[in-house]
């Protein structure tokens, strides 16, 4: 089992504080890796321009970096900022890391006429091109994300040590949302792409659990022909893709995600105000029903964050905080470490039917039950 | 040269040792009650007077050297038509365990069974003993790492499947918003009682099955459905609320459809689905065949034919030129007949061309599923050569079709149902879940349910297999009331219920260790393994040893 920690706050904070929250739960993971997602970025040495895409990844060799530069230049990206991590190499297990990438670009001028969705699609395709280029060259280039206001760090090792190795405790980077996950992979080989969180077109998730329905879900998503539905080095990557599919392709409200991955049983649907619609939705999205124990934490482009449980509530997750800052962690000690000065009596442990939504204003938790009416479209 | 006709050996003469089943009779236990001879469905047994010489040493010259004893014993008829079929009815009725058939693997009967010039025919099964491929597939993706084991006894499991055309999610949302037609979808138990016609089965068997199915649905909440096969459906069923548990089959003879169409206005509910039979795994290229023995007054009335005539359906639907035309005409006509509220799907023989049929269906918005019947499927009557050697094994057929759908992203839209040898050695859940994890949405089972629910005596060693001539020793496939009254419908219903209860439990016992409880693991091929490298490669599953 691994551990998850997430904090979202109106005021940017250091990701290192989230790693300390992870450390509080250290008995729950094996230290095989760390994945971080930062959203709502604030750099001490750079004034980030909203909307500029940020590339996160690793160039494992100078040649890879050179090729990366060529690709980005040829596409018309203009490098605005290249964050240099103060890396302590001796603390990092892997030796083939030429440069950790965290770069802000200016979008190609040719994209000015594109809609927001089209720009998003182009950014995703560019990321996939970089990834493919790396895979074609012995895996010497890794691209985690290319998206405005989002940075990702993934590395093999003990989470807190990686944070120290990256110098994340120097406060040079802060963010309003930070996801951290402390394990490489559950079922498959150790691979940087297999490390949570997973990212696609602004949507990201991380999971604590095992998705036993992975293969049929992967087969279905792969068959959709959408270029971003690929990878699948981890059984949990499909959670991000399903969230993307539900919100961006089906354009259903966030609450529908829960109905897709863990639909209600027949007798529950019979009593649901939109039972007819939801039963049909369950049938058509049947191949996206997840299984096994899972706590899924998600992040959307507007800085909304969310938590959902598997249908049997077989994994832990605890939500706590106060107006302006909220934390989600696998264990209460993790929430304590992230936001110690909160009213603990208002902590909430989501059950199988719940979707916890923390809206961008972060003033209060929205605890939405699957048995409630969906804020849906007239359809149902 | 003129042969010596007095010698009792001619090309086709057979002795009991040449037959596939030999009767062993113990005179020391026999009470001469005659029950065995009375019950024998093929009259192979005859009680007969026999005489044997009792030699003795004679000292007194006035007496003869030998005396003779007369006794009553059992003789086994060696005529091809009256050979022992191994059903064992004799041993079942014998009060003293004095008699029973023994299998003879080195029989010569097979070479002589063509007497009269006809090819060998039988009912039943393929007769391939030993573990089938499906028996050798095991489930080995056990969730050991992060998963608290699911509890098959206490946790809730969802294992029903869908029968019907499922829309792509985008299209569903669009149609739902605009109030357009959504194709009918049935949620059913993935183990379907396969197509066995009213005609192939006796009235008591049919009634027992239906009673059991109704109980499963209405009391146990297991949504079992059963398919009629070609031959219609009794009018009282058509007009009853039980019709919703029935898949009505239409096949190339269209038997019984006059009654069905006429009953539509009086139907209380819609049938579960309509199955259009284009082919059958046991006898590809043949239509249904109901031999004259079984065309009783009742059957004749249901089918709208005279009594006592052979009813061979043609191999193809005569009004159709191709499957494309069929897809256009029959599926749409059948859908229209029930106002587009009943799923309509074709059933085909397992075949290397199954993928072509499937791709046709994918493009037809009214096609609801594809049912593929593999070579191990059973039948009421067929030629041996069809049963034994014609057709396609189901596993790779289903797998190819499923992977083809996956490539197109359509695997949720057209459910594939598989049949042909599911449970033929008793491992019905293992076989079915293997097929489901290879990509089937569910299975049809015929022989298994006859064996489990009604005690069918057939085995893969060509035991019994006389479904075709209406003498079924258990009364399952006979239309002779003297025979089928042996079968109590209530007993059959009870066994149907017990069978489905045990299937449901076993399904959970497989799903739980795999960490699956939320949905039927269709296409979960990562859970499958087989200790056969070639089979593993062919099916794209894991080779384990």
Residue ranges of the domains in chain B? 16-118, 133-543
- How far apart CA A42 and CA A174 sit, in angstroms, is 5
Give chain B's count of helices (H) and strands (E). 19, 21
Token pair in block for residue A10: 């109106």
- Residue pointed to by tokens 């219609």: B232
Chain A residue nearest residue B413, CA to CA: A284
Q: What is the mean pLDDT of residues B93-101?
A: 96
To the nearest whole Å, the CA of A128 is away from the closest chain B CA by 21
Is pLDDT above 60 for B226?
Answer: yes
Task: Tell me which H or E stretch contains B445.
Answer: strand B442-445
- How far apart CA A3 and CA A180 sit, in angstroms, is 8
pLDDT tens readout for residues A300-352: 999 999 999 999 998 899 999 999 999 999 999 999 999 999 999 999 999 99
- How far apart CA B303 and CA B299 sit, in angstroms, is 6
Q: Which CATH architecture has domain B16-118?
A: 2-Layer Sandwich (3.30)
Please indicate whether, in this complex, the C-beta atoms of B176 and A280 are within 8 angstroms of each other.
yes
Q: What is the mean pLDDT of residues A287-296?
A: 94
* Bridge partner residues of B201 (DSSP): B198
Backbone angles phi, psi at B311, to 5 degrees: -120, 75
Confidence of residue A380 (pLDDT cuts 50, 70, 90): very low
With beta carbons under 8 A apart, name residues in chain B contacting A285. 169
pLDDT of residue B497: 98
To the nearest whole Å, the CA of A99 is away from the closest chain B CA by 34
* Bridge partner residues of B528 (DSSP): B139
To the nearest whole Å, the CA of A204 is away from the closest chain B CA by 22
A289 interfacial to chain B (CB closer than 8 Å): yes
Residues 302-331 (A) with a CB less than 8 A from some CB of B: 311-312, 314
pLDDT of residue B114: 87
Among A67, A89, A83, A71, residue whose Cα is nearest residue A138:
A67
**Which among B149, B168, B176 is the top mutation candidate for probing chain A, defined by the most A β-carbons within 10 Å of its own β-carbon?**
B176
Instruction: Look over chain B and give the mean of its residue pLDDT values, rounded to a whole number.
Output: 92
Token pair in block for residue A186: 């559950």
- How far apart CA B350 and CA B133 sit, in angstroms, is 15
Among B472, B534, B489, residue whose Cα is nearest residue B41:
B472
CATH 3.30.70.580: does it fit domain B133-543?
no
Tell me the CA distances in angstroms from B4 to A30, B7, B11, B12, B386, one per residue in order: 91, 6, 13, 16, 39
pLDDT of residue B355: 95
Taking a C-beta distance cutoff of 8 angstroms, is the pair B230, B255 a contact? yes
Please report, rounded to a whole number, the percentage of residues in chain A having pLDDT higher than 70.
96
What domains lie within chain A, and their CATH numbers?
4-48+149-369 (3.60.20.10)
DSSP character string of B14-58: --GGGSSEEEEE-TTT-----HHHHH-TT--EEEEEEEEEEE---
Chain B residue nearest residue A1, CA to CA: B146
- How far apart CA B352 and CA B361 sit, in angstroms, is 16
pLDDT tens readout for residues A256-280: 999 999 999 999 999 999 999 999 9
Q: What is the mean pLDDT of residues A38-45?
A: 95
pLDDT tens readout for residues A147-194: 999 999 999 888 999 999 999 999 999 999 999 998 655 555 567 888
To the nearest whole Å, the CA of A338 is away from the closest chain B CA by 25
Q: What is the mean pLDDT of residues A136-153?
A: 96
Counting Cβ atoms within 10 Å, is residue B283 exposed (0-12), middle (13-18) or buried (19+)?
Answer: buried
Is pLDDT above 90 for B120?
Answer: no
Counting Cβ atoms within 10 Å, is residue B162 exposed (0-12), middle (13-18) or buried (19+)?
Answer: buried
Please indicate whether, in this complex, the C-beta atoms of A223 and B522 are within 8 angstroms of each other.
no
Task: Tell me which H or E stretch contains B286.
Answer: none
pLDDT of residue B503: 98
Backbone angles phi, psi at A73, to 5 degrees: -65, -45
Of B108-117, B199-208, B486-495, the least confident? B108-117
Please indicate whether, in this complex, the C-beta atoms of A213 and B519 are within 8 angstroms of each other.
yes
Token pair in block for residue B342: 């009943």
């Amino acid at each position: 089992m691994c551990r998850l920690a997430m904090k979202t706050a109106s005021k940017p904070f250091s990701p290192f504080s989230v790693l300390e929250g992870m450390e509080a739960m250290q008995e729950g993971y094996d230290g095989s890796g760390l994945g971080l997602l930062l959203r709502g970025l604030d750099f001490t040495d750079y004034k980030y321009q909203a909307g500029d895409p940020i590339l996160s990844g690793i160039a494992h060799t100078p040649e890879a970096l050179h090729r990366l530069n060529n690709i980005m230049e040829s596409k018309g990206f203009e490098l605005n900022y290249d964050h240099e991590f103060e890396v302590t190499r001796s603390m990092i297990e892997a030796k083939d890391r030429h440069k950790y990438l965290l770069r802000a670009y200016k979008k190609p001028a040719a994209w000015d006429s594109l809609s927001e969705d089209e720009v998003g699609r182009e950014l995703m395709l560019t990321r996939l091109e970089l990834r493919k280029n790396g895979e074609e060259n012995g895996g010497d280039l890794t691209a985690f994300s290319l998206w405005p206001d989002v940075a990702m760090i993934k590395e093999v090792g003990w989470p807190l040590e990686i944070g120290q190795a990256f110098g994340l405790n120097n406060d040079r980077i802060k963010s309003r949302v930070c996801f951290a996950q402390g394990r490489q992979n559950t079922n498959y080989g150790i691979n940087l792409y297999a490390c949570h969180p997973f990212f696609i077109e602004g949507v990201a998730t991380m999971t604590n659990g095992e998705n036993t329905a992975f293969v049929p879900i992967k087969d279905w998503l792969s068959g959709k022909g959408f270029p971003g539905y690929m990878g699948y080095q981890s059984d949990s990557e499909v959670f991000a893709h399903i969230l993307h599919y539900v919100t961006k392709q089906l354009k259903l409200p966030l609450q529908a995600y829960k109905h897709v991955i863990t639909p209600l049983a027949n007798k529950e649907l019979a009593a649901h105000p939109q039972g007819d619609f939801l039963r049909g939705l369950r049938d058509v999205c049947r191949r996206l029903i997840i299984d096994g124990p899972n706590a899924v934490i998600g992040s959307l482009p507007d800085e909304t964050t969310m938590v959902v449980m598997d249908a049997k509530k077989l994994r832990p997750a605890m939500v706590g905080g106060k107006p302006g800052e909220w934390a989600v962690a696998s264990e209460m000690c993790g929430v304590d470490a992230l936001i110690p000065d909160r009213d603990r009596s208002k902590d909430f442990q989501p059950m199988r039917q719940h979707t916890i939504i923390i809206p961008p204003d972060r003033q209060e938790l929205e605890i939405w039950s699957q048995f409630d009416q969906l804020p849906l479209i007239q359809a149902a | 040269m003129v042969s010596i006709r007095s010698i009792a050996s001619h090309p086709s003469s057979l002795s009991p040792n040449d037959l596939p089943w030999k009767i062993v009779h113990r005179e020391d236990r026999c009470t001469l009650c005659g029950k065995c001879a009375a019950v024998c469905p093929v009259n192979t047994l005859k009680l007969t007077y026999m005489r044997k010489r009792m030699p003795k040493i004679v000292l007194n010259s006035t007496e003869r050297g030998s005396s003779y004893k007369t006794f009553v014993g059992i003789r086994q008829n060696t005529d091809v038509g009256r050979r022992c079929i191994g059903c064992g009815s004799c041993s079942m009725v014998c009060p003293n365990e004095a008699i029973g058939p023994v299998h003879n693997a080195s029989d010569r009967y097979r070479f002589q069974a063509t007497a009269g010039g006809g090819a060998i025919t039988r009912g039943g099964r393929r007769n391939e003993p030993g573990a089938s491929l499906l028996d050798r597939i095991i489930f080995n993706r056990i969730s050991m790492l992060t998963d608290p084991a699911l509890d098959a006894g206490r946790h809730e499991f969802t294992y029903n499947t869908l029968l019907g055309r499922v829309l792509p999610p985008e299209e569903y949302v669009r149609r739902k918003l605009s109030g357009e037609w959504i194709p009918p979808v049935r949620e059913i138990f993935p183990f379907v009682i396969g197509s066995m016609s009213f005609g192939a089965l006796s009235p008591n068997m049919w009634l027992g099955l239906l009673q059991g199915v109704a109980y499963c649905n209405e009391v146990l909440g297991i949504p079992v459905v059963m398919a009629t096969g070609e031959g219609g459906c009794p009018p009282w069923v058509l007009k009853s609320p039980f019709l919703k548990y029935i898949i009505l089959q239409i096949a190339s003879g269209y038997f019984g459809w006059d009654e069905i169409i006429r009953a539509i206005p009086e139907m209380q509910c819609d049938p579960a689905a309509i199955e259009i039979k284009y082919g059958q795994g046991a006898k590809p290229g043949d239509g249904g065949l109901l031999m004259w023995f079984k065309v009783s007054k009742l059957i004749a009335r249901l089918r709208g034919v005279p009594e006592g005539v052979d009813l061979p359906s043609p191999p193809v639907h005569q009004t159709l030129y191709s499957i494309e035309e069929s897809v256009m005409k029959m599926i749409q006509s059948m859908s229209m007949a029930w106002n587009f509220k009943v799923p309509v799907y074709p059933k085909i023989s397992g075949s290397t061309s199954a993928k072509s049929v499937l791709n046709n269906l994918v493009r037809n918005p009214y096609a609801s599923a594809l049912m593929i019947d593999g070579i191990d499927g059973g039948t009421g009557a067929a030629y041996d050569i069809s049963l034994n050697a014609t057709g396609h094994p189901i596993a790779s057929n289903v797998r190819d079709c499923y992977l083809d759908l996956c490539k197109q992203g359509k695997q949720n839209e057209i459910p594939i149902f598989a049949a042909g040898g599911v449970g033929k050695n008793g491992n019905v859940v293992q076989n079915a879940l293997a097929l489901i994890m290879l990509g089937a949405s569910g299975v049809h089972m015929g022989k298994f349910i006859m064996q489990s629910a009604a005690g069918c005596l057939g085995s893969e060693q060509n035991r019994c297999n006389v479904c075709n001539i209406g003498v079924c020793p258990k009364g399952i496939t006979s239309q002779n009331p003297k025979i089928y009254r042996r079968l109590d419908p209530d007993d059959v219903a009870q066994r149907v219920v017990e069978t489905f209860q045990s299937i449901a439990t076993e399904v959970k016992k497989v799903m739980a260790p795999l960490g699956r409880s939320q949905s039927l693991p269709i296409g979960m091929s990562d859970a499958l393994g087989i200790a056969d490298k070639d089979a593993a490669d062919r099916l794209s599953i894991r080779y384990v040893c």
